[in-house]
A and B are shown apart, each in its own frame.
Chain A
């Protein structure tokens, strides 16, 4: 009967359920899942490439290309399972235009440039 006071105390408070945010592929912080700079992102790519990516060389060009493409596809599938290969590549390429990623890219390249007393590894 008190509800007649019009205070609306009895009315059920509606809590709008927030939609689960959809994971996005971004440059991101190191602790996030689907981000380029996190552990499953480029660091992993660089690491596994060193151990896993082996080519046969001359005469096996197309096999090598297939191996390379598969390597990237599996990596991308781990990083961001939602996207198809081609879509994922487009998204990453786009991220590559950001200042931060560009700076990182330059760093990665500089790492391998020959320097005194420095074995980058």
Chain B
């Protein structure tokens, strides 16, 4: 396709000339790469082109030409291999190797679609993404050469130098090396392009295995555990590499034993087969028993002597099928608002599950365990400080990566502990008493007040600025912190229990935290499934922990802040009805306070009142949106939704909120189909019972209050909810 000039021909000529002059395979021995006379100068010139043409003009032309000229796989890799084989002692060759590395990093730098793209970007980005995958393939399996190891070797002298004696050049080399590892971790085959059949070679599994075999993991471990002393400036690329290695990896599966995993996989297979046969059975139930042109047609008698016609023999069976068919035959669909795509999410998307083969699973698990043992606290403490200090090397995306990675590793630690406990109990013949428990010191670096403060602040600002993917990462992190603390509280070590008690007190002390969770759950609109999953899980875990904690600590106090004015107005109102809030009146001396001023005070916490706040239409809608995915949800998620609706219907006695035709229709479909849940699962039984109870109450209510027939169509108005549920007005509210 050179008919259309996508790149200035002069630029192309110059770049090609340089690549040709670099060297080639055309010597006497065709297998031997021969360096050109001025190879080093050529490499430096190419770098200059990239910098002075591409970077300066915000173009991608040179990068594209280099891709077309096959620079990396045709020249750079053979040169590095030459260095590895015979040039390590030659100063000149080492310089050349370094110059190669200096080109590898910008050429593998991830490119993404973003909002500030020029025509030029649009033209080159897909091509460059494609070639980068080729680069990665070349780097991961470049002949007999361990390229990653070679790159690490280049940087070893700089690493060995103590930090105080390291110059900017040494720091630069370390940076190059780490960013190459990071780039390799990021590059992944574009799922939007047609498969070429060898995606496996550039998959996450291949990356992890290469990192393992070529000691990149060992290097990461060393650097992470010494991040405070020797590698101050390297914390961010280290964390990024970790993020891109673990994003989307299922922790539970990672820590399964081989037998478990085999069993699980067999289970998964048989599960899938079962699911498929379920689908088939369901089809068979409704499938025509005669040929396609048998031509049955029925009339559905309607009111006012009207009839509708529906064709097909299936409709003879029952009303349900007939009505369903009537509905399906409608052609018009309500137009749906298209969701706005968030910028730059492709490479940082952690919602996409990553699948690992068994070897990669083993390798990654080993790494994760070693990292938890030595690198977790130093790295994350350091990164947190860098982020808070707004260090120059921190870019906005790092915040999201930080919280996600912390959450991921906290989960890994929990699952690992559970696994260890199982193993030891098995070894001990079932006695848990003699087992020496471990403390939670290994992850203490993120269980401190500083982290909570920065997490809280970050959550609030993401919420205020509608940065949903950031909030998603923060919610996951918060959920994992809560779960870790919950397990700490159950630890046999007294010290752990005390710390856990302390942390819980701190987390639950601020009313703003409670309110924020509520706002998040209420505010779900169209942020996507990953977000929905994260926010429902957070609400679920938070409510359950808070319930338990406030039960154990009956006189729990929380600090609430309110705007002064608002509070007084309210106080005046409330004081009429409730005599108990005498202390509210004391605030009245602050009458002259400015509106912005906040009143801070402690008051006792009432779980019932708090959980009642989750009892409203918007929270119900969020959980309904989540439940709508019931066919893709696992049992843990289905349980989460079940518990919520159970709470609404039977603990808070607000079944009215569920009395809406679309909700009833969803519930009915989940149990009776078409496309119902798998009836063999235990969760199904629980749901069936819940739905049955809800319907029973609905039928009763319809008898008592015929007005519900219309109200079933709508979300309930606050002022009528109480009447519909209880049949009389709320006594405490003065309506006039």
Q: With A87-B334, A106-B720, A108-B707 known to touch, is A96 a contact of B715 (CB < 8 Å)? A: yes
Which residues of A lie under 8 Å from residue B144 when comparing CB positions?
none
Please tell me if the beta carbons of A49 and B302 are within 8 angstroms of each other in the complex: no
Please tell me if the beta carbons of A105 and B662 are within 8 angstroms of each other in the complex: no
Q: Which residue of B lies closest to A102 (CB)?
A: B717
Contact with A along B720-735 (1 / 0, CB 8 A): 1001100000000000
Which residues of B lie under 8 Å from residue A113 when comparing CB positions?
723
Q: Is A30 an interface residue (CB 8 A)?
A: no
Which residues of A lie under 8 Å from residue B711 when comparing CB positions?
105, 108-109
Tally A residues with Cβ within 8 Å of B: 46
Q: A66-B319, A66-B672, A105-B717 are in contact. List 18 more A-B contacts (CB 8 A).
A: A50-B706, A53-B702, A55-B699, A58-B696, A61-B695, A68-B661, A69-B661, A74-B302, A74-B323, A81-B330, A84-B332, A90-B334, A93-B713, A93-B714, A96-B713, A105-B710, A108-B711, A109-B707
| Shortest Cβ-Cβ A-B pairs, 8 listed | A96-B714, A87-B334, A61-B695, A49-B709, A109-B707, A61-B692, A89-B662, A55-B699
Q: Is A18 an interface residue (CB 8 A)?
A: no
Q: Which residues of chain A from 38 to 90 have any CB-CB distance to chain B below 8 Å in the complex?
A: 42, 45-46, 48-50, 53, 55, 57-58, 61-62, 64-66, 68-70, 72-74, 77-78, 81-87, 89-90
Please tell me if the beta carbons of A89 and B320 are within 8 angstroms of each other in the complex: no
Which residues of A lie under 8 Å from residue B702 when comparing CB positions?
53, 55
Point out residues on B near A: beta carbons under 8 Å.
Answer: 302-303, 306, 308, 319-320, 323, 326-328, 330, 332-334, 660-662, 664-665, 667-668, 671-672, 691-692, 695-696, 698-699, 702-703, 705-707, 709-715, 717, 719-720, 723-724
A contact face: mostly helix, strand, loop, or mixed: helix
Q: CB within 8 A of A93: which of B332, B662, B672?
A: B662
A81 to B327, CA, bound (A): 9
Q: CB within 8 A of B707: which of A74, A89, A102, A112?
A: A112
Q: With A66-B320, A66-B668, A70-B319 known to touch, is A106 a contact of B660 (CB < 8 Å)? A: no
Q: CB within 8 A of B717: which of A55, A68, A89, A106?
A: A106
Q: CB within 8 A of A73: which of B303, B327, B692, B707?
A: B327
A62 to B691, CA, bound (A): 9
Please tell me if the beta carbons of B330 and A106 are within 8 angstroms of each other in the complex: no
B contact face: mostly helix, strand, loop, or mixed: helix
Which residues of A lie under 8 Å from residue B326 when comparing CB positions?
73, 77
Which residues of B lie under 8 Å from residue A48 when comparing CB positions?
303
Please tell me if the beta carbons of B710 and A42 are within 8 angstroms of each other in the complex: yes
List, sorted by A's number, 28 A–B pairs whose CB atoms are closer than 8 Å. A46-B706, A46-B709, A55-B703, A61-B691, A61-B699, A62-B671, A68-B664, A68-B698, A73-B323, A73-B326, A74-B323, A77-B308, A77-B326, A78-B302, A81-B330, A82-B330, A82-B332, A83-B332, A84-B327, A86-B665, A87-B332, A89-B661, A90-B662, A96-B713, A105-B710, A106-B720, A109-B723, A109-B724
Point out residues on A near B: beta carbons under 8 Å.
Answer: 42, 45-46, 48-50, 53, 55, 57-58, 61-62, 64-66, 68-70, 72-74, 77-78, 81-87, 89-93, 96-97, 101-102, 105-106, 108-109, 111-113
Q: With A78-B302, A93-B714 known to touch, is A65 a contact of B333 (CB < 8 Å)? A: no
Which residues of A lie under 8 Å from residue B695 when comparing CB positions?
61-62, 64-65
> What is the CB-to-nearest-CB distance from A58 to chain B, in angstroms, rounded to a whole number?
6
> What is the CB-to-nearest-CB distance from B430 to chain A, in angstroms, rounded to a whole number?
44
Please tell me if the beta carbons of A64 and B662 are within 8 angstroms of each other in the complex: no
Q: CB within 8 A of B660: which of A93, A97, A108?
A: A93
Q: With A48-B303, A62-B672 known to touch, is A91 a contact of B334 (CB < 8 Å)? A: yes
Which residues of A lie under 8 Å from residue B712 when comparing CB positions?
72
Q: Which residue of B lies closest to A55 (CB)?
A: B699
Please tell me if the beta carbons of B665 and A69 are within 8 angstroms of each other in the complex: yes
B328, B699, B713, B723: which has the most chain A beta carbons within 10 Å? B713
Which residues of B lie under 8 Å from residue A92 when comparing CB positions?
713-714
A112 to B727, CA, bound (A): 10
> What is the CB-to-nearest-CB distance from A11 to chain B, in angstroms, rounded to a whole number?
39
> What is the CB-to-nearest-CB distance from A31 to chain B, in angstroms, rounded to a whole number?
18
A82 to B15, CA, bound (A): 62
